[in-house]
Chain A
């Protein structure tokens, strides 16, 4: 079974540019999560999809971030325009259920560098 995949693995852009990150969850997983880790800090929750609906987007930093999950399969996270503080590693995770004990399966992350 394929795991959670993310593309690209690395992205280097200049301040003011736009970047789109993609996440493909494990097939059949309705729940998809985005997290971000800024260098040296904790991994922070951004948002949670159940199928194509946003269940919780309380962690989104501001309106420069737009997440979509059309069709309830893969998801994209667009940053427009990017700022220096957006640099970090963006993780995607998916889970089959939406229970506290349920394991979230993580992708390898996308390392975003904004210059």
Chain B
């Protein structure tokens, strides 16, 4: 089974600074999708960013960007100019396009933003 590892249970960042959350995964597939989801306290999970494995270019969404290293099976999330509203639990997830429909999630990283 595919595994997703988030090695940082907790991270903190000063407001306006940059923070990188790490994620590694294990797969033998060449085609797949990677996601970062964010869950603010007591609120629902929302998609932050998505990356298709066949694309070499790293995905970017405003202040959020990823560093996708396919050979190393690494998919880190960089948050620039951190804001108080970025404080949340962040989950990395993996999904294959054809074999099954489920996400495989990591254990999450709790991000604290310090004013």
Interface residues in A21-71 (C-beta closer than 8 Å to B):
31, 33, 35, 37, 40-45, 48, 55-56, 58-59
Interface residues in B71-115 (C-beta closer than 8 Å to A):
91, 93, 95-98, 100-108
| Distance of A108 Cα from B93 Cα, bound (Å) | 17
| Distance of A3 Cα from B39 Cα, bound (Å) | 14
B96: A residues at CB distance < 8 A: 100
Q: Are B97 and A40 in contact, CB atoms less than 8 angstroms apart?
A: no
Q: Are A91 and B45 in contact, CB atoms less than 8 angstroms apart?
A: yes
Contact of B102 among A4, A41, A59 (CB under 8 A): A59
Interface residues in B29-66 (C-beta closer than 8 Å to A):
31-33, 37, 39, 42-47, 50, 52
Residue numbers of B with Cβ under 8 A of A are 4, 31-33, 37, 39, 42-47, 50, 52, 91, 93, 95-98, 100-108
